[in-house]
Amino acid sequence: MPTTPDLVAARWFTSSRSANNGDCVECAVLPGVMAVRDSKDPSGPTLVFPSHQWTAFVTATTAGTLTRLRPVS
């Protein structure tokens, strides 16, 4: 069963292209995972992805090849 990473010590960051209006997605790199949250609600829900899945998502998005979702096996 997967464990929930400890987000207390996470170092959150936003894109260098983010505006200073507080409407940002924040990310934190943790051992084996990438955590993502809404900067307007830092105590709200956090999405956590295995690092390899996050890398595949960013690579596909950057390359323009992300066309549809499929189940992860």
Q: Write the pLDDT tens digit of every residue in 11-60.
A: 999 888 777 776 789 999 999 999 999 988 989 999 999 999 999 999 98
Is 43 a member of any domain?
yes
| Strand order across the beta sheet in which 33-38 lies | 25-30, 33-38, 47-50
Between 64 and 35, where is the model more confident?
A: 35
Is 48 a member of any domain?
yes
Predicted pLDDT at 65: 85
The 3-state DSSP class for residue 25 equals strand
Number of structural domains (the chain) is 1
Residue type, 50: P
Which pLDDT band, with edges at 50, 70 and 90, does 1 fall under? very low
Is 18 a member of any domain?
no
Is 2 a member of any domain?
no
pTM of the model: 0.76
Predicted pLDDT at 73: 66
